[in-house]
Structure 1
Amino acid sequence: MDVLVTPTPRLEGELQALSSKNYTTRYLLVAALAEGTSTIYYPAHSEDSDAMRRCIRDLGAIVEEDEEKIVITGFGRHPKPVDQLDVGNAGAVLRFLMAIAALCPDITFINRYPDSLGKRPHSDLIDSLTAMGVSIDHNEGKLPITIHGGAPKGGKIQVSGNISSQFLSALLFLTPLLEEESEIEVLHDLKSKVVVGQTLEVLEQAGIVIHADEDYMRFRVPGRQSYAAKTYSVQGDYPGSAAILAAAAVTNSDVFVHRLEEKSKQGERAVVDVLKMMEVPLTHENGIIHVKGNGQLKAVEFDGDHATDAVLAMVAAAVFAEGTSRFYNVENLRYKECDRITDYLNELRKAGANVEERQAEIIVHGRPEGVEGGVEINAHYDHRVIMALTVVGLRAKNPIRIRDAHHVAKSYPIFFDHLQALGANVEWLES
């Protein structure tokens, strides 16, 4: 399905932020790794979290759900052997479960999205697991991947962090269950450190002890630990809300978004600081962000590594800012569902934006007068690109048609419903 985004001068209303995809995915996994019954309140509903639900069921967890919560009886350190797992298009779910699959004899992760997840590299995690005694068949580091596990060994483990922090998180979920103590050393740079902080926060809540150096480059993980069955409550999601806040910033608006904690460990919380730097009128109190946008924005410079999943939305806002904005230290955007630098900027140019790329930078020469629009653009099956391009469409001079916009469901299935509730002129079209 495509979406037609027609210029909309004003947004107004109140929304409850979606629950966090990152936290939901992690809580589902630690609940499955516990022996006993855990409860997760306000879980996210998205293709990613649904993929984790499906896979932990396949691995032997009992999953019961109502409108408010999920109750999970875990499989502990003994996942049920299965032949195949289908993670859909969810990279984090794949990487976390590749590590857990090392506890099983033979599991093949199938390649259902050859044009998206099927293109993404996982060699850094494969190298780490292989060094731990796990035999792995793979397609030059890409799907399909077969894990021949059963007896992974702890000890001294190295993992590269310069492509994704998810490889490190995967090892942090696995190593507490091993017989030996593990020492994990991160090689090169570590991208998205704040997301590692979320992993450590969830592990601590699940009763796991991990000793981390302050810079997250070394970890000591005692072995023979057990995940505790607990009750969790999922906080609101900043990455998805970033696009809503950006949409409010580029229009005349009076928008309230609830359930966004001021002291959240989500790095994308920085979208609030960036919008303030852009001189967008907003307040953030008692978990509520109130944007009273006037469509007038100033350029910014921002280190995007701290807020990877909000960068595209902030770039969309910068398209209409006065001056030149620079988002730097963002090379890891190239290794997502698509190349979120080259692919995204190509589509922005079609819409009339003046943007440049470097290997690890996005530069935006703002056009406060607006962009032309009036084009059909390709979102490359990427939920973050879809949401960001929608922001641009709301302020363009002519409608923008976004192809395959249904892929927004990967993280935010009701994104367009929420925008319509605020008065945005968006409509679904048959592809």
Structure 2
Amino acid sequence: MDVMVNPTPELKGDIQALSSKNYTTRYLLVAALAEGTSTVYYPAHSEDSDAMRRCIRDLGATVEEDDEKIVITGFGRNPLAVKELNVGNAGAVLRFLMSVTALCPEVTFVNVYPDSLGKRPHDDLIDALRQIGVEVDHNEGKLPITIRGGNPKGGKIRVSGNVSSQFLSSLLFLTPLLPQDSEIEVLHDLKSKVVVGQTLEVLEQAGIVIHASEDLMHYRIPGNQSYEAKTYVVQGDYPGSAAVLAAAAVTRSDVTIRRLEEKSKQGERAVVDVLRMMDVPLKHADGIVNVKGNGKLKAGEFDGDEFTDGVLAMVAAAVFAEGTSRFYNIENLRYKECDRITDYLAELRKAGANVEERQSEIIVHGRPEGVEGGVEIDAHYDHRVIMALSVVGLRAKAPIRIRDAHHVAKSYPMYFDHLQALGAKVEWIEG
């Protein structure tokens, strides 16, 4: 399905932020790794979180759900000996479960999205798992991947943090269950440190002890630990809300989003500060963000590693800012569902934006007068690209058609419903 985004000068309304995908997937996993019954309130409903639901059920967890919560009886350190797992297009779910399935004799992760997740590299995690005695068959670091584990021991592990923090998070879920103590040293740089902070927060809530250095580059993990069955409440999601906030910023607006905690450990909370620096009129208090946009924005320079999953939405806002904006320290965007620098900027140019790329930077020469639009653009099956391009469409002079926009369901199935509720002129079209 495609979406037609028509020029929309004004947005107004009040919505609830969807629940956090990142926290939901982590809570589902720690609940599955516990022996006993855990409850997760207000879980996210997205392709990623649904993939985690499906896979933990395949691995032996009991999963019961109603409109408010999921009740999970876990498999602890004894997952079922399944032969195959299908994570769909969910990279984080794949990476987290590559470590967990080291507790199984042999599991193959199948490749059902060869043009998206199937292109993404996992070599750094494969190398780390081999250091603790896990055999891995793979296709040049990519899917399909077969994990032959059964009896990993723990010990000293070195893992690169250059491409993704998900490799480190994956090991942090597994190592507390191993019979030996473990030490993890992160090599090179560590991308998206704030997301590692979310992993550590969830592990602590699950009763797991991990000794992390202040710079998050070294870890000591006592072995023979057990996950505790707990009750968890999922907070509102900043990465998805970033696009709605950007849409409010580039239009005349009075938009309120609820359930966005001021002290959240989600790095994308920084998008509120980015918009403030761009002179967007907004207030943030009591878990509520209110934007009274006037369509006028000021350019700025921003370290994108602090809000990785909000960068594309903020770039979309910067397209209409006065002056030149620079988003730096973002090379890891190249290793997502698509190359979120080259592929995204190619589509922005089609719409009429003036943008440049560097290896780890996006430069935006703002066009406060708006962009031409009137084109069909390719979102490369990437939910973040779809949402960001829709923001640009609101301020285009002619409609923009976004191909395969149904892939927004990977993280935010209700995204276009929420935009419509705020007054955006968007409509689904058969592709």
Give your verdict on TM over 0.5: yes
Q: Distance in 2 between matches of 1:364 and 1:416?
A: 25
Structure 2 partner of 1:222: 222
Provide the residue aligned with 2:89 in structure 1: 89
Instruction: Spell out, residue by residue over 1:130-169, the C-alpha distance to the aligned partner (whole angstroms, 9 max, x if none).
Output: 1110111100000000001101121110000000000000
Tell me the equivalent position of 1:10: 10
Give the secondary-structure state (helix, strand or coil) at the position aligned to 2:190.
Answer: coil
Query: CA–CA distance in 2 between the matches of 1:346 and 1:300?
Result: 22
Task: Quote the Cα distance in structure 2 between the aligned partners of 1:153 and 1:87.
Answer: 26
Please give the alpha-carbon distance, in whole angstroms, between the structure 2 residues aligned to 1:81 and 1:306: 39
Aligned to 1:325: 325
Please report how far the alpha carbon of residue 398 of structure 1 lies from its aligned counterpart in structure 2 after TM superposition: 0.4
The corresponding residue for 2:385 is 385
Query: Deviation at 1:317?
Result: 0.1
Query: Hey, what's the Cα distance between the residues in 1 that align with 2:120 and 2:307?
Result: 20
Cα offset, 1:85, TM superposition: 0.1
**Aligned-partner Cα distance in 2 for 1:143–1:336:** 15
Q: For residue 51 of structure 1, what is the aligned residue in structure 2?
A: 51
Q: Counterparts of 1:370 and 1:133 in 2: how far apart (Å)?
A: 56
Question: Secondary structure at the residue paired with 2:189?
Answer: coil
C-alpha separation in 1, matches of 2:358 and 2:61: 45
- Aligned 1:259-270 pairs, distance under 5 A: 259-270=259-270
Query: Distance in 1 between the 2:63 and 2:344 partners?
Result: 37
Q: Say how many residue pairs are matched.
A: 431
Deviations 1:257-293 (A, max 9, x none): 0000000000000000000000000000100000000
**Structure-2 separation of matches of 1:303 and 1:11:** 28
CA distance, structure 2, for counterparts of residue 153 and residue 34 of structure 1? 19
Aligned-residue Cα RMSD (Å) equals 0.3
Aligned partner of residue 293 in structure 1, secondary structure:
coil
Alignment partner of 1:62 is 2:62: yes
* 1:80 counterpart residue number: 80
Residue 419 of structure 1: aligned partner? 419
| Match in the other structure for 1:242 | 242
For residues 243-392 of structure 1, what are the structure 2 equivalents within 5 Å? 243-392=243-392
C-alpha distance after superposition, 1:74-123 (max 9, x if no partner): 00000001010000000000000000010000000000000000000000
**Does 1:181 pair with 2:178?**
no
**CA shift at 1:62, angstroms?**
0.1
**Deviations 1:176-200, CA, capped at 9 Å, x for gaps:** 0000000000000000000000000
1:343 Cα offset (Å): 0.1
Residues 371-397 of structure 1: CA deviation (Å, up to 9, x unaligned): 000000000000000000000000000
The whole-number CA distance in structure 2 between the counterparts of 1:271 and 1:100 is 33
Q: Please give the secondary structure, in 1, of the residue aligned with 2:372.
A: coil
Deviations 1:207-251 (A, max 9, x none): 000000000000000000000000000000000000000000000
Q: Secondary structure at the match of 1:339?
A: coil
| Matched position secondary structure for 2:297 | coil
SS at match of 2:397: coil
Q: Which amino acid aligns with 1:362?
A: I
Aligned-partner residue type, residue 195 of structure 2: V
Provide the C-alpha distance between the structure 1 equivalents of 2:125 and 2:11, rounded to a whole number of angstroms: 44
Aligned to 2:115: 115
Q: Which runs of 4+ in 1 moved over 6 A?
A: none
Q: Which position in structure 2 is the counterpart of 1:201?
A: 201
Give the whole-Å Cα distance in 1 for the aligned partners of 2:136 and 2:212: 28
Instruction: State the Cα distance separating 1:56 from its structure 2 match.
Output: 0.1
Partner of 1:401: 401
Residue 282 of structure 2 aligns to which amino acid in structure 1? L
What does residue 30 of structure 2 align with? 30
The DSSP-based 3-state class of the residue aligned with 1:102 is: helix
SS state at 2:380 partner: coil
Separation in 1, partners of 2:170, 2:300: 34
What is the TM-score of this pair, normalised by structure 1? 1.00
TM-score between the two structures when normalised by the length of structure 2:
1.00
Please give the secondary structure, in 2, of the residue aligned with 1:185. Answer: strand
Deviation at 1:300, TM superposition (A): 1.1
- Give the structure 2 partner of residue 213 of structure 1: 213
Note the residue ranges of structure 1 that are not aligned, 5 or more in a row. Answer: none
Residue in structure 2 matched with residue 39 of structure 1 by the alignment: 39
The letter of the residue matching 1:21 is: K
SS in 2 for 1:40: strand
One-letter code of the match for 2:77? R
Q: Tell me which residue corresponds to 1:149.
A: 149
- Secondary structure of 1:397's partner? strand
Code of the residue aligned with 1:342 in structure 2: it is T
Task: Output the amino acid matched with 1:28.
Answer: L
